[in-house]
């Protein structure tokens, strides 16, 4: 037994010699690695700003204050360790000091501070100011580690630009995701987390005198939008009032700079508060980019543009509009019943005649009409890169059925987004040059300097001459003889077009209307486009009645906000009505030459 005992102790001795002598550094390193932990330090997310630097989204640093229960019990005792005789009194004193700072009653703090745990959460989501006030008290055991730092996103504009600026959320796997601009520019906004390395005690807290190091977090870059927050605020409120007044399902207002294509406002209603996105009801998307609808009569300008560009008509070309027209297997008529009317092409547009537009559209092949729709941006993404944007619905011309060949001329049988619809009028206002819409004006670099982003390349759609003719024709729509005198703005020349289209319902049949007005001002020196879309309004549904007044208000405000003066010129008076019936054999007249039997 003596020999066996000596043998066993010799093994222990050899192992002890190996650990403490030969391999002391290796064992020490392994132990250090065992108790060393890393905590991510979250990076502050960059700000989202409007075109003038107004903050639309910002991050605010927050802390979680923890307590080492084996240290706080020495507060005010001058003792190195807890003493059962004084610990309860020390904890109560510490709680009384902390309570007014952290806004938590002492009787709730005391249980959290009592015990043997070296790490216990005391208060969450504390501001930097509050933490500095707590730290200044010098209470032992009260601290913040790297893993106790976080950030919350704040949206000071609240509901005004919610679906545009976007929000942050966690998916089913607990990972943070972003929507809207937050998602579009996440790479720039996110920043790079830092790392705090420290020795961890058995209770979970940091060893006060242990090894520690910090790699600071790198804040995200600021992103400046093209949005003017004042115009956005006004458009959002004007839209909300219109939706509520007409009892519409939803609505959209788009405000765009004519020359650059930059979006100055993109309002969508109903909206939500991104500060409390968990309480939001309904859609969180911005309908200007995501929802598609049949444009109705605002589409007629493309039909007119194709015929004018191909040299088939002029604004003064005579048009004989019958009471009804038979095409394929359908019977077509205008919104209001009438007898034979004698108009010009300009008059057909001013009075928004479906049949007059069809007669103009028949002068060009379907493939040509389709090509102009594509040039104007229909059937494809706008170029804004906004998350979830729709391409719209535009079938190739060889897929159009018999009646669709004609309905697309006046805006049914295809679908667009509000951004696409606004882009059509931006193109005309800009002399026929389409500027894809953009939302991001500048992005910050590592030094914090905002670096301007390049404008997209313009796309020539129609000639300046054709655009000028169309613009003068669109001024007729806003005249007393047109469908939207409510869009007139005192002192300014305004051009635009109404739209009233059937709205597809959930069962595949039409249900309700889409009312719209899209226009620009000053008409002879265009600078701003405003598009107003109301979905399924009940108390009135004609675009000239429910949408044009919203256009008037938003455009008036935008002109004032951007300090755009009137041009002081007089609008041309295009002839819209013929003096009488033109000669039956006049080849320049557009008339229905088909039999009522169809064909």
Q: Range with the lowest mean pLDDT among 50-64, 280-294, 585-599? A: 585-599
Return d(Cα 168, Cα 367) in angstroms, integer. 45
Return d(Cα 100, Cα 121) in angstroms, integer. 18
Q: Is 339 helix (H, G, I), strand (E, B) or coil?
A: coil
Whether residue 404 has pLDDT greater than 60: yes
pLDDT value, residue 506: 74
pTM of the model: 0.85
Higher pLDDT, 436 or 22: 436
Q: Range with the lowest mean pLDDT among 187-201, 225-239, 465-479? A: 187-201
pLDDT band per the 50, 70, 90 thresholds, residue 17: low
Whether residue 599 has pLDDT greater than 60: no
Whether residue 203 has pLDDT greater than 50: no
pLDDT value, residue 23: 57
Q: 48-49 and 223-225 as β-strands: parallel, antiparallel, unpaired?
A: parallel
39-225 matches 229-273+286-561 in fold: no
Residue 380 burial class via C-beta count within 10 angstroms: exposed 0-12, middle 13-18, buried 19 and up: exposed
pLDDT, one tens digit per residue, over 477-486 is: 998 888 899 9
The CATH number of the structural domain formed by 39-225 is 3.90.1310.10
Residue listed under structure tokens 């923890």: 66
Contact 141, 70 (CB under 8 A): yes
Contact 400, 485 (CB under 8 A): no
Whether residue 27 has pLDDT greater than 60: no
C-alpha dihedral over 432, 435, 437, 442, to 10 degrees? -150
Whether residue 596 has pLDDT greater than 50: no
pLDDT value, residue 460: 97
Per-residue pLDDT averaged across 580-590, rounded?
Answer: 91
Superfamily for domain range 229-273+286-561: DD-peptidase/beta-lactamase superfamily (3.40.710.10)
- What value does the mean pLDDT of the chain take? 89
- Percentage of residues of the chain with pLDDT beyond 70: 91
Q: Is 135 helix (H, G, I), strand (E, B) or coil?
A: helix
Whether residue 244 has pLDDT greater than 80: yes
Contact 167, 277 (CB under 8 A): yes
pLDDT value, residue 26: 59
pLDDT, one tens digit per residue, over 119-172 is: 888 998 888 899 899 989 989 989 886 566 777 889 999 999 999 999 988 776
Residue listed under structure tokens 């929000």: 167
Tell me the H-state helices in 381-446. Answer: 404-407, 418-429
HSE-CB of 358 using CA atoms within 13 angstroms: 25
Q: 55-67 and 250-257 as β-strands: parallel, antiparallel, unpaired?
A: unpaired
pLDDT value, residue 19: 56
What letter does residue 200 receive in the DSSP assignment? B
- Percentage of residues of the chain with pLDDT beyond 90: 66
Q: Is 431 helix (H, G, I), strand (E, B) or coil?
A: coil
Report domain extents, the chain. Answer: 39-225, 229-273+286-561
pLDDT band per the 50, 70, 90 thresholds, residue 234: very high
Complete DSSP assignment for 506-540: TTSSEEEEEEEEEEEESTTS--EEEEEEEES-SS-
pLDDT value, residue 597: 38
Return d(Cα 388, Cα 164) in angstroms, integer. 12
């Amino acid at each position: 037994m003596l020999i066996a005992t000596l043998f066993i102790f010799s093994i222990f001795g050899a192992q002890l010699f190996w650990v403490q002598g030969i391999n002391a550094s290796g064992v020490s390193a392994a132990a250090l690695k065992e108790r060393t932990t890393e905590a991510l330090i979250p990076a502050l997310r960059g700000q989202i700003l409007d075109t003038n630097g107004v903050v639309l989204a910002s991050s605010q640093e927050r802390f979680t204050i923890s307590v080492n229960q084996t240290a706080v019990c020495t507060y005010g005792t001058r003792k190195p360790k807890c003493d059962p005789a004084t610990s309860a009194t020390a904890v109560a004193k510490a709680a009384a000091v902390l309570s007014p700072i952290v806004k938590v009653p002492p009787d709730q703090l005391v249980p959290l501070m009592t015990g043997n745990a070296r790490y216990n959460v005391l208060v969450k989501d504390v501001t930097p100011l509050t933490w500095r006030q707590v730290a200044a008290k010098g209470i032992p055991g009260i601290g913040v580690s790297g893993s106790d730092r976080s950030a919350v996103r704040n949206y000071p504009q609240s509901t005004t630009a919610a679906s545009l600026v976007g929000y942050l959320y966690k998916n089913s796997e607990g990972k943070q995701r972003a929507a809207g601009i937050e998602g579009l520019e996440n790479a720039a906004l996110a920043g790079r987390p830092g790392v705090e390395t420290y020795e961890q005690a058995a209770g979970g807290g940091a060893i006060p005198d242990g090894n520690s190091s910090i790699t600071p977090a790198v804040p995200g870059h600021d992103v400046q939008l093209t949005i003017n927050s004042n115009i956005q605020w006004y458009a959002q409120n004007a839209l909300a009032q219109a939706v509520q007044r007409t009892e519409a399902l939803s609505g959209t207002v788009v405000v765009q700079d004519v020359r650059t294509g930059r979006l100055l406002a993109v309002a969508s209603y109903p909206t939500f508060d991104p500060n409390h996105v968990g309480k939001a009801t309904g859609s969180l998307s911005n309908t200007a980019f995501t929802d598609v609808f049949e444009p109705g009569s605002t589409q007629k300008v493309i039909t007119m543009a194709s015929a004018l560009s191909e040299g088939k008509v002029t604004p003064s070309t005579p048009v004989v509009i019958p009471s009804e027209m038979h095409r394929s297997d359908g019977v077509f008529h205008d919104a209001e019943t009438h007898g034979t009317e004698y108009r010009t092409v300009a008059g057909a547009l001013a009075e928004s005649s479906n049949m007059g537009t069809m007669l103009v559209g028949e002068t060009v092949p379907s493939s040509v009409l389709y090509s102009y729709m594509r040039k104007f941006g229909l059937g494809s993404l706008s170029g804004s890169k906004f998350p979830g944007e729709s391409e719209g619905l535009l079938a190739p011309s060889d897929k159009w059925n018999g009646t669709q060949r004609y309905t697309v001329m006046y805006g049914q049988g295809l679908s667009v987004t509000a951004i696409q619809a606004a882009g059509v009028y931006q193109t005309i206002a800009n002399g026929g040059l389409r500027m894809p819409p953009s939302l991001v004006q500048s992005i910050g670099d590592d030094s914090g300097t905002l670096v301007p982003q390049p404008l997209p390349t313009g796309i020539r759609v129609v000639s300046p001459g054709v655009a000028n003719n169309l613009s003068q024709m669109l001024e007729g729509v806003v005249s007393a003889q047109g469908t939207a005198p409510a869009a007139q703005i005192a002192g300014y020349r305004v051009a635009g077009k109404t739209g009233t289209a059937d709205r597809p319902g959930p069962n595949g049949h039409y249900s309700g209307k889409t009312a719209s007005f899209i226009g620009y001002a000053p008409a002879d020196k265009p600078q701003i486009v405003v598009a107003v879309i109301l979905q399924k309004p009940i108390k009135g549904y004609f675009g000239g009645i429910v949408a044009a007044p919203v256009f008037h208000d938003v455009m008036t405000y935008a002109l004032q906000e951007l300090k755009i003066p009137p041009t002081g010129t007089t609008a041309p008076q295009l002839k819209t009505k013929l003096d009488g019936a033109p000669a039956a054999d006049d080849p320049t007249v557009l008339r229905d030459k088909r039999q009522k039997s169809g064909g």
